[in-house]
Structure 1
Amino acid sequence: MGKIFKLPPEVVSKIAAGEIVESPASVVKELVENSIDALSSKIKVYIEEGGKDLIRVVDDGLGISLEDVELVFERHATSKITSFDDLKNLYTFGFRGEALHSIAEVSKVELITRAQGEEKGTRIVVEGGKKILSELGYFPQGTSITVRSLFYNIPLRRKLLRSPSVEWNKILKVVLSYILAFSEEVEFYLYKDGELYLKSVKDIKENLKIIFGVDFVKNARELSLRRWDYALSGFIALAGEGAGDFFTLVNRRPVRDSLIRRAIIDALFIPPGKFPVRGFIRIEVPPSVVDQNIHPAKLEVRFLKPGEVYSLVYDAVRETFSISEPTAESYRASLPKNIAEEVPTLRESLFEYDTLEEKRQRSSIRVLARSSKGYFIAETPDGIAILDPHAIAERLLFEKLKFSRNVVQLLLPVVIQLDMYSFSILRDRLPFLKDIGFEIEEFGRNAFILRGVPSPLADLNINWAEAIKSMVEENSSELVKAWANLACHGAPKLGDVREPAELQTLLDELASYGEFEICPHGRPLFYLLSYEELERWIRR
């Protein structure tokens, strides 16, 4: 008796997702998951032109039997479930029976498969949803699916695909996530335009070196915690300890989950808008306590008991980094004295700096003294100001970068070693980096050499490797964002400016570019206590 069945209408109505094929990466995701569900030990992924021209996934799994193979391209035909209640005990990736049908509707597909224990296999060719050929033959055990000319019959959709390099980077990230999820069970081979790009091994630490780099493995902390019916594992490192991305895996399925990310942010006291964490977290939970049917591509999940999952991640991270809980007194002391004080909005930040209308015109500022925390006190005709030297220096560097196009050679070139994913992205951005004043080129496997930098930054003490990596991590491919990012790296940190005269020089130089109240990222340069407010406060 066959394993693949057409789902009844009452089940289809509850699980149907609609759109499955969004890009070449979504095709790769579906095909790799099918190979994993087939208990494959080797999975080979072939990509040409970023997946636009060809995607092929070959595995050595169980294969599809002669009895079932004719159903594989039927919509809602699946071997994973027969009723909606089966989702409560589901340990496979696929279950809707939509993926192959959807892929075949918008491409030219060839399926070659032979089931374990059967002498012959089957070859099927489908174009635009229409079966062209079905024949028997002697094939290796396992399954090979080739997808050609994605969206060939929907010209607008094909035109809307990004460049081959962008689509390739999306595919690379998909494959890397499954390498992390199945390091112990599956060997992955990824080919790009006919050449082997990467090969994983059945060793998690070796795969971490491939994905994140050697420095990450040296500095990463291993997470491990079991509680209730949950099991958490993974490796994470903070920014500066190897570059790369962060992967979240729930029952080995790559997902986007704000709850898990929020638990990490809270555990490490990460400031708003930042996430300087690299690595991956893998959480195993019973299928009955997680809903994986809320997103068409199954990229999001919903936990039955989110509080337990949050607590699991929060405690695992804090234990791993040996962070003790703050006391109520220390927490209150960390709160701003006046939480109602107005702060700049996004509209006042670098994203709309061209149209920013300053709230008031400032006259000259006279710097008086430095506080023990690194801030400065200054006098203005309007009142007393508290100055942030880092924000002032950052704004000054930003203005200099806007007007400078000169490149200065570094005395000693800097070699920048990246993980495979970041290297692929940065290679695509080399023309952009050269446009903004960097002299940089490839320098061996997953590495670049930096020989020249924009002139305003030449004499500053900047960790160039970290500055370039951050531009990869923060997707700084827009000119204004890139200038702001570099200015932040080049500006002296709070506490580095020691003397009032030093800050006075920065203010006088900034005044030659105009009058500003915020840094490129939207933070205020100063807080002004007007004489009127001061007199009301002391009741004069």
Structure 2
Amino acid sequence: MLDIIQLLPDSIANQIAAGEVVQRPASVVKELLENSIDAGASTIQLIIREAGKTLIQVIDDGLGMSETDARMCFERHATSKIRTSDDLFKIRTMGFRGEAMASIAAVAQVEMRTRRKTEELGVLVKIEASEIKAQEAVATEQGTSIQVKNLFYNVPARRNFLKSNPVEMRHILDEFQRVSLANPEITFTLHHNDSEIYNLPAGKLSRRIVDLFGKNYREQLASCEEETSFVSVRGFVGKPEFSKKTRGEQFFFANNRYIKNGYLNHAVMSAFEGLIAEGTHPFYVLFIEIDPIHIDINVHPTKTEIKFDDERTVYAIVQAAVRKAMSQHNLTPSLDFETDVNFTNNIFNFGNSPFQTKQQSAETFNGGPAVTTAIRHDNSSPRERTNLTNWNKLYEGLNRTADDFERKEVSQANFDFGKDFEPTPFTLKSKANDISDMRLQRGFRDSEATTFQIHNRYIVSQVKSGMLLIDQRAAYERILYEKFTQHLQKNDGASQQLLFPTTVTLTPVDFHLVLEIQEEIRNLGFVLSVTGHDTFVVNGIPADSPDENEQAMIEGLLEQFKHNEANLHLDKSENVARSMAKRSAGRFGVHALTVLEMNALVEQLFASSNPSYTPSGELTMKILSLEEMAGLFLK
């Protein structure tokens, strides 16, 4: 029988390796940018066409390569970064495996021009599907220029699985942001389809953050720094009030390499505990400097996951550094130990002196005489002093039954306010018992008596079995979701044209997200027109949208969309409908309603397909039966 195991050709082996290293255009961008950084470049240009499907070009002014190196870099496991196995534990460069260029050349058409400073002519290498097509001398600038054309042209299945251009461009922007954040001392530019997306001059880290994410980040940055003999932490954290529902603006770098580490992220989140709302995430850019011997970066093909030999110590230092930054910038709430929080309300302000003791306050609160000591300066008027001795008479008669209140109103108590005060007649009633003249207890069924609102948040309605309690915000979310879903299915969302169109400017990532979902949001009623690489004009908004600034409305919609995208597996239309409903319900859900509006809301809720739950599975209502209410009072 013939032997069946054979050594694969390099071209096939490279295609297999490319499946791990080159997953999408963003993977190519990451590898090429990191090569330029390792080459000592001070200026790096990234040029993209059709979200990297047609062209990815990186131009740098680094060291360049000799003719032999230019050819050798496309061989598997050919690298200038390591020589021995010991070097794996001393890695300071971005790359070290020698797989990237061979993997890229296996699934694309690559053209590279490179020249070293000491040489007059450079070299041009053309390679397609791991096969050298040309190698010749050429006049070129110092450094390296690599063009990757028609990615996955020879692997149709992989190319067909690429997402739309806006989606792929968002991934490219993510990689670009990470690399440029890690190297603020390098000038970066990014062009997409001949439009400049980013122009980032070399400078400080704070300047790089503002250039990448927007000017509004300038006011939320708090510097963070901690030095120890084992590890050092530096960078910036965002103020708690700027935290967002979505992840994506949390950056950890270990020795300038972007990493993903849930354990260290927990360290930061624990430092923010009690300062941010549950389910929100703070902004941070933190750099960890540690001896390479204490980490292992050869864990994952993308090199974004690393192992620390003492992760607990790193966790504690990161947590301490963030807490220190929060305290130094007064981002944590302070406590006034001189104030008794039980008596800060004006209702119980029985004297003007801040030196009143707890014992004096307690005696006064219990109806006893106001005590005056050497440290209390009582400047109260005779009327105030007599009021303090008679405050308990305000509550006389409140132990009467409901029948007493139906038959007779509480008459004015005989208060002794002093001879210099002439009282004005008034009447006290217990609001706990006086509800629309007790019509509920007497059996009236009119809507005004059986439906009312609590704190502009909840609607209470009487039903046959007891009491119906409706979460106003959740009810709006269910109703609006079904309305928006219908608009998306029928493409008939009504639009309210703006008298003065509004120009909205977004970050490049959010701008490409709008391009990705522009068909869906247009069906909801938005009328947008692109005017620049990160701006567009809003000419119309959905007819029933809340009264809100257009910029805030769109940013809120995108924020909720990204939150759903990260946590749920939804198609675009479903995600847009849920995001818009959630966002709008938050604005509609807390305001006063008339009886007619409350009844209309209840009717629309019960007319929906699933009135009991929001699209995300939260309860919209709760029926409290008569038996349950009796149980509350142990009857």
Q: In structure 1, give the amino acid aligned to 2:302.
A: A
Higher deviation after alignment, 445-454 or 368-377:
368-377
Instruction: State the Cα deviation string for residues 13-42 of structure 1 (Å, max 9, x = none).
Output: xxx997111111111110110110111111
* 229 and 45 in structure 1: CA distance in 2 versus 1, 3 angstrom threshold: same
Relative to total residues, which structure has the larger strand share, 1 or 2? 1
Paired with 2:256 and 2:526, the residues of 1 have a C-alpha distance of: 40
Between the two proteins, what is the percent identity of the paired residues? 31
Higher deviation after alignment, 122-131 or 303-312:
303-312
State the SS of the aligned residue for 2:74. coil
Deviation at 1:281, TM superposition (A): 3.2
Q: Looking at both structures, which has the greater relative contact order when contacts are Cα pairs under 8 Å and sequence separation is at least 6?
A: 1
| Alignment match, 2:509 | 421
* 488 and 92 in structure 1: CA distance in 2 versus 1, 3 angstrom threshold: same
| Alignment match, 2:313 | 308
Asked if 2 retains the 8 angstrom alpha-carbon contact of 1:389 and 1:503, the reply is no
Paired with 2:449 and 2:573, the residues of 1 have a C-alpha distance of: 33
Asked if 2 retains the 8 angstrom alpha-carbon contact of 1:407 and 1:438, the reply is yes
Deviation at 1:198, TM superposition (A): 2.6
Deviation at 1:84, TM superposition (A): 3.4
Deviation at 1:92, TM superposition (A): 0.6
* 509 and 47 in structure 1: CA distance in 2 versus 1, 3 angstrom threshold: closer
State the SS of the aligned residue for 1:47. strand
Q: In structure 2, give the amino acid aligned to 1:103.
A: I
Kindly indicate whether residue 525 of structure 2 is the aligned counterpart of residue 522 of structure 1: no
Q: Which of these residues, 228, 251, 263, is aligned with residue 248 of structure 1? A: 251
| Alignment match, 1:232 | 234
Q: In structure 1, give the amino acid aligned to 2:471.
A: D
| Alignment match, 1:436 | 524
Deviation at 1:99, TM superposition (A): 0.5
Higher deviation after alignment, 375-384 or 301-310:
375-384
Q: In structure 2, give the amino acid aligned to 1:419.
A: T
Deviation at 1:536, TM superposition (A): 5.9
Deviation at 1:375, TM superposition (A): 4.6
Asked if 1 retains the 8 angstrom alpha-carbon contact of 2:64 and 2:143, the reply is yes
Deviation at 1:383, TM superposition (A): 4.3
| Alignment match, 1:337 | none
Q: In structure 1, give the amino acid aligned to 2:100.
A: A
Deviation at 1:434, TM superposition (A): 0.9
Paired with 1:387 and 1:399, the residues of 2 have a C-alpha distance of: 18
Higher deviation after alignment, 248-257 or 85-94:
248-257
Kindly indicate whether residue 514 of structure 2 is the aligned counterpart of residue 401 of structure 1: no
Q: In structure 1, give the amino acid aligned to 2:184.
A: S
1:88-487 correspondence runs (5 A): 88-184=89-185, 186-203=186-203, 204-227=205-228, 228-236=230-238, 245-250=248-253, 251-269=255-273, 270=276, 273-275=279-281, 277-278=282-283, 280-321=285-326, 322-323=331-332, 374-375=457-458, 378-403=461-486, 405-444=493-532, 446-457=534-545, 460-473=546-559, 474-475=561-562, 478-487=572-581
Deviation at 1:237, TM superposition (A): 5.5
Asked if 1 retains the 8 angstrom alpha-carbon contact of 2:520 and 2:576, the reply is no
* 231 and 433 in structure 1: CA distance in 2 versus 1, 3 angstrom threshold: same
Deviation at 1:202, TM superposition (A): 0.9
Deviation at 1:463, TM superposition (A): 4.1
Paired with 2:99 and 2:320, the residues of 1 have a C-alpha distance of: 38
Paired with 2:191 and 2:461, the residues of 1 have a C-alpha distance of: 61
| Alignment match, 1:3 | none
Structure showing greater radius of gyration is: 2
* 300 and 530 in structure 1: CA distance in 2 versus 1, 3 angstrom threshold: farther
State the SS of the aligned residue for 1:29. helix
Asked if 2 retains the 8 angstrom alpha-carbon contact of 1:111 and 1:146, the reply is yes
Deviation at 1:94, TM superposition (A): 0.4
Asked if 2 retains the 8 angstrom alpha-carbon contact of 1:220 and 1:241, the reply is no
State the SS of the aligned residue for 1:111. strand
Deviation at 1:261, TM superposition (A): 3.4
State the SS of the aligned residue for 2:101. helix
State the SS of the aligned residue for 1:78. coil
Asked if 1 retains the 8 angstrom alpha-carbon contact of 2:167 and 2:512, the reply is no
* 514 and 73 in structure 1: CA distance in 2 versus 1, 3 angstrom threshold: closer
TM-score (norm 2): 0.68
Paired with 2:41 and 2:122, the residues of 1 have a C-alpha distance of: 17
State the SS of the aligned residue for 1:456. coil
Instruction: State the Cα deviation string for residues 73-95 of structure 1 (Å, max 9, x = none).
Output: 11111121233332322111101
Instruction: State the Cα deviation string for residues 247-270 of structure 1 (Å, max 9, x = none).
Output: 523222233332343334443345
Q: In structure 2, give the amino acid aligned to 1:510.
A: L
* 189 and 471 in structure 1: CA distance in 2 versus 1, 3 angstrom threshold: same
* 492 and 130 in structure 1: CA distance in 2 versus 1, 3 angstrom threshold: closer
Paired with 2:31 and 2:149, the residues of 1 have a C-alpha distance of: 15
Higher deviation after alignment, 292-301 or 35-44:
292-301
* 317 and 529 in structure 1: CA distance in 2 versus 1, 3 angstrom threshold: farther
Asked if 1 retains the 8 angstrom alpha-carbon contact of 2:197 and 2:533, the reply is no
State the SS of the aligned residue for 2:21. coil
TM-score (norm 1): 0.79
Instruction: State the Cα deviation string for residues 210-248 of structure 1 (Å, max 9, x = none).
Output: 321222223433333334412231353567699995152
* 305 and 132 in structure 1: CA distance in 2 versus 1, 3 angstrom threshold: same
Asked if 2 retains the 8 angstrom alpha-carbon contact of 1:188 and 1:201, the reply is yes
* 409 and 78 in structure 1: CA distance in 2 versus 1, 3 angstrom threshold: same
Deviation at 1:456, TM superposition (A): 2.3
Q: In structure 1, give the amino acid aligned to 2:288.
A: I
1:70-89 correspondence runs (5 A): 70-89=71-90
State the SS of the aligned residue for 1:215. helix
Q: In structure 1, give the amino acid aligned to 2:107.
A: V
Paired with 1:188 and 1:381, the residues of 2 have a C-alpha distance of: 69
Q: In structure 1, give the amino acid aligned to 2:259.
A: V
* 443 and 59 in structure 1: CA distance in 2 versus 1, 3 angstrom threshold: closer
Paired with 1:367 and 1:87, the residues of 2 have a C-alpha distance of: 75
| Alignment match, 2:398 | none
State the SS of the aligned residue for 1:491. helix
Asked if 2 retains the 8 angstrom alpha-carbon contact of 1:376 and 1:389, the reply is yes
Asked if 2 retains the 8 angstrom alpha-carbon contact of 1:73 and 1:100, the reply is yes
| Alignment match, 2:584 | 490
Paired with 1:378 and 1:156, the residues of 2 have a C-alpha distance of: 58
Higher deviation after alignment, 164-173 or 262-271:
262-271
Asked if 2 retains the 8 angstrom alpha-carbon contact of 1:115 and 1:141, the reply is yes
Paired with 2:189 and 2:609, the residues of 1 have a C-alpha distance of: 56
* 259 and 425 in structure 1: CA distance in 2 versus 1, 3 angstrom threshold: same
Q: In structure 2, give the amino acid aligned to 1:232.
A: R
Higher deviation after alignment, 364-373 or 123-132:
364-373
Paired with 2:129 and 2:241, the residues of 1 have a C-alpha distance of: 46
Deviation at 1:206, TM superposition (A): 4.0
Paired with 2:451 and 2:85, the residues of 1 have a C-alpha distance of: 72
Q: In structure 2, give the amino acid aligned to 1:523.
A: E
Asked if 1 retains the 8 angstrom alpha-carbon contact of 2:505 and 2:534, the reply is yes
Paired with 1:155 and 1:18, the residues of 2 have a C-alpha distance of: 13
State the SS of the aligned residue for 2:541. strand
Deviation at 1:438, TM superposition (A): 0.7
Paired with 2:159 and 2:610, the residues of 1 have a C-alpha distance of: 48
Deviation at 1:517, TM superposition (A): 1.2
Q: In structure 1, give the amino acid aligned to 2:576.
A: A
Deviation at 1:440, TM superposition (A): 1.9
Paired with 2:64 and 2:598, the residues of 1 have a C-alpha distance of: 71
Asked if 1 retains the 8 angstrom alpha-carbon contact of 2:451 and 2:599, the reply is no
Deviation at 1:385, TM superposition (A): 4.8
